Amino acid sequence: MMKAPDEAQGRKVMKSRVIRSIAVVAACAALLPALASGAEKRVRLTVDVKIEGTESVIGNGVDRTSGKFREGYTLVTYLKSDGQLAQFNTKDPEYAQKMLGLAASVRQRVQQAKGNAGAKKMTPQELQAYVQKGQAACQGDQACLYKLAMEAQKLSANLDTGAAAGSAVAYTGNEPPRYMSYAGYDNCGAKAHVYVDRTTQGTLGDTGGAVPYTIHDTANYDSDITGIRLICVQHQAVFDTQDGTFYTDGAVLPLARGNSVMTSRGKTEKSEGEAATHGEPYTWVNEQLRHVTRSGQRSTDLKLTQNQGASVHSGKYTGQAHIVLTWKLEDVN
């Protein structure tokens, strides 16, 4: 028995609405973090860095320089959270890849709800070969090539990237809430201290022979109001309530000013400006703080490759630094 046109159309509309509802619910449930309510919380992050090292620059002729240095900083800042737990860790290095996998899973569920198996899954190489084969078969026919282009676009939305073993596993959307996000805030009560003690000695070539010189760079600086405000707002952390570890983007190197005294040819020149610190050790520090326990210490011996004011002449730079990093994350009232 044939259904009346209005009844058939109504059932069709209803089915379409159900499919859209399933898609919306699946996307929202999977892509929006599930939250568990809680009271506001605060933590204190302390980072201490101590560095000692040597460096040298070998230039042309008698241009020679060697030096030794001590530098580092202590930083204390505060972060707060609304106390809610989220499903996903936004500081996870593989967060984007896991979310893309989740999005692909949602699309697949939507296709299944529509009764559509979806486009065939291909690797980029397989897709390229498929398109090339199709182009040859079309033999220049524009209608054929247009159809092939539309098909390729559909296939490219479902590429198999061939993730290697050990790579990120996609989120399922069913993960229990476990991550608490903390962010810095203005006037948080942070403080920071930077120190530098660096002595550089060398010789410069001159028409009368080698000219000795010495440079002494120092800093003993407590961050000012501007520096403190930057420290307060620039730090973030995600705490994993399941394993007790936390994730960050690293620590901000506090702004600091220092003095430089250069002696050469019996004359002494003094100047004041930005503290003369090395960049490479602090890159290592930030890498270590990406994912750590609530407190700990790490150290390393790092080969330096970047000449950051180690001499007044050009040449081949070499350096070595011993770095000690200590950190802790503490709950506060």
Q: Tens digits of per-residue pLDDT, 245-301? A: 999 999 999 989 999 999 999 999 999 999 889 999 999 999 999 999 999 999 999
Q: What is the mean predicted confidence (pLDDT) over 9-18?
A: 43
The band of 168, judged by pLDDT with boundaries at 50, 70 and 90, is low
Count of structural domains within the chain = 1
- Is residue 167's pLDDT more than 60? no
The band of 34, judged by pLDDT with boundaries at 50, 70 and 90, is very low
Q: What whole-number percentage of the chain has pLDDT above 90?
A: 57
Q: Residue 158: inside a domain, yes or no?
A: no
**Measured CA distances, 265 to 167, 215, 254 (Å):** 61, 13, 35
Confidence at residue 32, expressed as pLDDT on a 0 to 100 scale = 44
Confidence at residue 172, expressed as pLDDT on a 0 to 100 scale = 79
The band of 93, judged by pLDDT with boundaries at 50, 70 and 90, is confident
- Is residue 5's pLDDT more than 50? no
Q: Residue 310: inside a domain, yes or no?
A: yes
Q: Residue 31: inside a domain, yes or no?
A: no
Most confident of 11-15, 109-113, 134-138, 292-296: 292-296
- Is residue 182's pLDDT more than 80? yes
Instruction: Supply the range of the domain harboring residue 229.
Output: 42-87+181-333
Q: Residue 320: inside a domain, yes or no?
A: yes
Q: Residue 93: inside a domain, yes or no?
A: no
- Is residue 193's pLDDT more than 60? yes
Q: Residue 245: inside a domain, yes or no?
A: yes
Q: What is the mean predicted confidence (pLDDT) over 220-231?
A: 96
129 contact partners, CB below 8 Å, separation of at least 6: none
8 A C-beta contact, residue 325 and residue 47: yes
Q: Residue 173: inside a domain, yes or no?
A: no
Confidence at residue 207, expressed as pLDDT on a 0 to 100 scale = 86
Q: What whole-number percentage of the chain has pLDDT above 70?
A: 80
Q: Residue 141: inside a domain, yes or no?
A: no
**Measured CA distances, 131 to 31, 119, 125, 204 (Å):** 33, 15, 10, 65
